[in-house]
Chains A and B, each alone.
Chain A
Amino acid sequence: MEKKYKKKKPKSTKKIIAVIAVFAVMFFTIFLAERGKIQMPFVDKTVMVVLSPFQNFFSWAGNQIAFLQRGITEIKYLQKQNKQLREEVELLRAQNLTASEYASENQRLRALLGYKQASVQFDLVAAGVIGRESITWSSVIIINRGTLDGVANNMAVVTEMGLVGHVLEASANTSKVQLILDPRSSVGTLVQRADSRVAGIVEGDINNPTHPRMVNIPKDANVQVEDAVVTSGFGGVYPKGIVVGKIKEIHNDEGGLLKYGVIETSVNFEKLEDVAVIVASREAPPEPLPSILQTHGTETDPHETAEQLKHAQENLQQAQETVQQRQQEQLQQAQEQLQRQSGGETP
């Protein structure tokens, strides 16, 4: 028995030493990795490539389940909705005429505001979210677009509602996106209000994972609750003017000289399904040309001139038609006269 024990002891000691060594190595790895001294992009990308088909499959399955769940929920309320809808139909029929009027007005106004032109400055690649970690200390999602689709590290990721984050690491088919909720994320921002334009940094709050904070705001700065916050373009990662959210609360910082705002993000990160990666951005399209100064006394209204030209063209066309008609009538009369004359000569 004693012999057995003696034989086993070195093996057990080796195992214990190995376990302690692994724990010790991991302990130091955490601090070195946080300082960026340990990077294994190849391993990282390989793991992502292996994992992506599984994530794609489960993401698809999740979508189907969610779709089914929505269907069941809808059936549950169908009867109640049906009754309500019948009442609404009557009301809506009456409103329909007004609505179509509003629709055309809306179309005109949208064109007027140059809404489409605002997004022309970005080249976007649409992507689906296929993986996301449960909110713990970091906020990172995985999207189904990678370097093969033109996605690269540090590209901004947005939805139609506003800023989502930036690409942390792009592999061939998938990419990791660090959300603006992540405590390690920092975004250069501005208060959008024209008479404020206060700059600050929006960073994730580890204690409040759903609401980031706008920090480094001087205590006397002109910042109010409900102020919209947009990206400043400083730093080069995020293009200028993307909506981040609005200020929900303002608090004084512990130091006393600064204050910070709690941000209500414009993007609903809990229901993030589709995003777009800004693969290229350029300057906004130029402003429309200003109207040319006209010499006093000879001013012409371009709209009026165009109307006059149109009228003139119409008049010209009418005149041409009248002349053609007259000519045809005269020709007809001449032919009839000729026929009559020739009839009189031959009895």
Chain B
Amino acid sequence: MKVFAMLALIVISMYAAQTSLLTYLDYNGVSANLMLLLIMSAGFLRGHYFGVALGFCVGLLQDFTSGDFFGCTTFAYMTVGFIFGKFSESVVKDQFLLPVLSAPIAVAIYFFVTTIFIYMLGYPIYILHVAQTILKPLIFYQLIFSLPVHKIVYDFDKFVRESYS
């Protein structure tokens, strides 16, 4: 229960920081997506079932509060949690370079999934234009924030493992 409360506090604080604080550092309206980094790191450290579950919860939180296309973010986050969770067993958990290098891939997966849904919902998208205006700055921000976010998730994971061992 205590662990869930702590996890909820981390998620809500990071989401509030993403929507309130990081907007001061935006570039043409684009700022870092901490939730994506959180799910990616959690997937790496706790496996794909946890990645999907966290992606589901965080995605719903964002869908409910942001007014975005409902379900799109949830589906994309679940996919990211699943894919990175699958690598959980084959990567060394103590190394910090991999989450940094994986941040652009997480952005690419997130955009790939959402783009498909947006297209299927009937909105025309010019991929190159979107890549230029949104993807480039977002990847830049994700590279900067991936390490601190991974450190938070890593410390939390370590705390949980030590508490239950």
Q: How many contacts A-B (CB < 8 Å)?
A: 147
Shortest CB-to-CB span from A279 to chain B, Å, is 20
Tally B residues with Cβ within 8 Å of A.
52
Q: Judging by beta carbons under 8 Å apart, are B75 and A19 in contact?
A: no
Q: Is the interface of A mostly helix, strand, loop or mixed?
A: helix
Q: In this complex, what residue of B is CB-closest to A60?
A: B20
Shortest CB-to-CB span from A20 to chain B, Å, is 10
Q: How far is the CA of A314 from the CA of B112 in the complex (A)?
A: 86
Q: Does B19 have its Cβ within 8 Å of any Cβ on chain A?
A: yes
* The one of A15, A178, A207 that contacts B67, using a Cβ cutoff of 8 Å: A178
Q: Judging by beta carbons under 8 Å apart, are A29 and B70 in contact?
A: yes
List of A residues within 8 angstroms of B15 by Cβ: 51, 54
Q: Judging by beta carbons under 8 Å apart, are B19 and A137 in contact?
A: no
Chain A 10-31, CB within 8 Å of chain B: the 1/0 string?
0000010001001100110111
List of B residues within 8 angstroms of A183 by Cβ: 123
* The one of A40, A47, A138 that contacts B68, using a Cβ cutoff of 8 Å: A138
Q: Does A33 have its Cβ within 8 Å of any Cβ on chain B?
A: yes
List of B residues within 8 angstroms of A299 by Cβ: none
Chain B 24-67, CB within 8 Å of chain A: the 1/0 string?
10101111110000000000000011001000100001001111
Q: Judging by beta carbons under 8 Å apart, are A134 and B23 in contact?
A: yes
Q: How far is the CA of A86 from the CA of B43 in the complex (A)?
A: 60
Most buried by A among B61, B70, B72, B121: B70
Q: Could you name 5 residue pairs across A and B whose Cβ atoms are closer than 8 Å?
A: A44-B64, A55-B16, A133-B19, A136-B134, A142-B65
Given contacts A54-B12, A138-B67, A140-B66, 18 further A-B contacts (CB under 8 A): A23-B78, A33-B69, A33-B70, A51-B16, A51-B65, A54-B13, A54-B15, A58-B16, A59-B20, A130-B20, A133-B19, A134-B31, A135-B134, A136-B114, A137-B69, A137-B118, A270-B26, A270-B28
